[in-house]
Structure 1
Amino acid sequence: MADVEQPGDRHAAPERLQLVQDLVNTVDLEGGTEELDTPAALTAWMRGQGIDPGACGEQDFAEALLLREALRDVCSAHAGTDVPPDRLALLDRLLAGAPLLLSLDARGAATVVPAPGLTGAGALAAHVAAAIAAASADGTWQRLKACASDTCRWAYYDRSPAGRSRWCTMSLCGSRAKMRAYRSRK
């Protein structure tokens, strides 16, 4: 008997989007586990991502969680739903406090990078914004999606040829959705 596929079993997002995917997936809505449950946990998580957290306080903690959920809504939009206007406004506000700079390398290649000296939620938002800018430029941003299952909403990278996947796993969330649709028709 084959093992049951779990959320996250799909291929991870490309490296430039890994930060966004990892941030959105710091909470498992279905399992009820929260990785970022305190400012100290946020500080440790950011350090693990290579981001200078500085002294993350309650405000940074609250803004990081708001950023995470707004990003989840954007990832859901990539799977076919609209982002609520209030979430877009919130995301715009959070990203406005995350200045980016254009950096050129020795070969003249341009990269968007977070401005130096940022800490806390501003640093996190700037790194997220830089990742989104890079992924938008190479066409991978639209494939980072959130599972269409309301009880899951796990962020996954859609590697299907047509890019029309709606669930993190077909064997779990997809099957449940199809079974509910089938039962409602009977």
Structure 2
Amino acid sequence: MARVEQPGVRDPAPEPLRLVQDLVNTVDLEGGSEELRTAEEAADWARGRGLSGRGYDADALADVLTLREALRDVCAAHAGTDVPAATTAALDRLLARAPLRLAVDAEGRATVVPAGGLAGADELAAAVAAAIVRATADGTWPRLKACAAGTCRWVYYDRSPAGRSRWCTMAICGSRAKMRTYRKNGRVSAPEAG
């Protein structure tokens, strides 16, 4: 079950980043819902996004979940944290198995696409890699961020003019963070006032 969007939650990311956002948000860390509990659910999810859905077993599911959480860490880095070394190693391993190729259309436009014949987590990783390459080229990749609230970490697309937002929604996660800061500062100021 997908997270129920609440008032104030940001709009979906533009293409091609929607695949990355959809993948990372298959789990609601705060609410506890998980869309990818089984290999069959992962295959159905992939088919729903235009992938073949072939080749999903327990190992592929584990790789998909690793990919998902690694992408969450990368999106958190877009909001100012460092990507853990274990995350970059996991991404390197998964993306090494996900070759891309250059495709040219009838009008001469070139784009990067997943190589043919891939299945399971390798097909998904290649589709994600192709999406990231396109989003890097058009400048949208750094705006896909993970919410700074440690209990949330929902991935959202930052449409703010300066590209400096930190929360999936100001109405919920941002307000909570500001209230915590207010309370913390209030406690510090009270003894000094006496």
The interval holding the TM-score normalised by the smaller chain is: over 0.9
1:20 aligned partner: 20
Question: Partners of 1:99 and 1:8 in 2: how far apart?
Answer: 38
Structure 1 counterpart of 2:147: 147
SS of residue in 2 equivalent to 1:20: helix
Maintained 8 Å contact 1:7/1:168: no
Match of 1:57 in 2: 57
Query: Distance between the aligned counterparts of 1:84 and 1:163, measured in 2?
Result: 23
Distance across 2 between alignment mates of 1:47 and 1:106: 27
Deviation, 1:55, is 2.9
- Equivalences for residues 50-89 of structure 1 within 5 A: 50-89=50-89
Number of matched pairs: 182
Q: TM-score, normalised by structure 2?
A: 0.91
In the alignment, which residue of structure 2 is the partner of 1:176?
Answer: 176
Q: Secondary structure at the match of 1:136?
A: helix
Shift of 1:152: 0.4
Q: C-alpha root-mean-square deviation of aligned residues, in Å?
A: 1.2
CA-to-aligned-CA distance 1:14-44 (integer Å, 9 cap, x gap): 1110000000000000000000000010010
Q: Which has the larger radius of gyration?
A: 2
The amino acid of 2:180's aligned partner reads R
Contact 1:8 1:156 survives alignment (8 Å) = no
Residues 7 and 154 in structure 1, CA contact (< 8 A), matched pair in contact too: no
Tell me what 2:190 maps to.
none
CA distance in 2, matches of 1:55, 1:176: 42
Pairwise mapping of residues 132-143 of structure 1 onto structure 2 (< 5 A)?
132-143=132-143
| TM-score between the two structures when normalised by the length of structure 1 | 0.95
The DSSP-based 3-state class of the residue aligned with 2:159 is coil
Tell me which stretches of 4 or more aligned residues in structure 1 moved more than 3 Å. none
**Structure 2: gaps spanning 5 or more residues:** 187-194
CA distance in 2, matches of 1:7, 1:28: 16
Shift of 1:7: 7.5
DSSP-derived class of the 1:145 partner: strand
Residue matched to 2:44: 44
Note closer, same or farther for the CA distance 1:158–1:112 as it changes in structure 2 (3 Å cut). same
Q: Which has the higher contact order (CA 8 A, sep 6+)?
A: 1
The letter of the residue matching 1:95 is L
Q: Deviations over 1:97-141 (max 9, x none)?
A: 100000011111110000001000000000000000000000000
- Distance in 2 (alpha carbons) for counterparts of 1:52 and 1:123: 8
- For residues 80-99 of structure 1, the aligned pairs below 5 Å read 80-99=80-99
Task: Specify the SS of the correspondent of 1:27.
Answer: coil
Residue 106 (structure 2) aligns with: 106
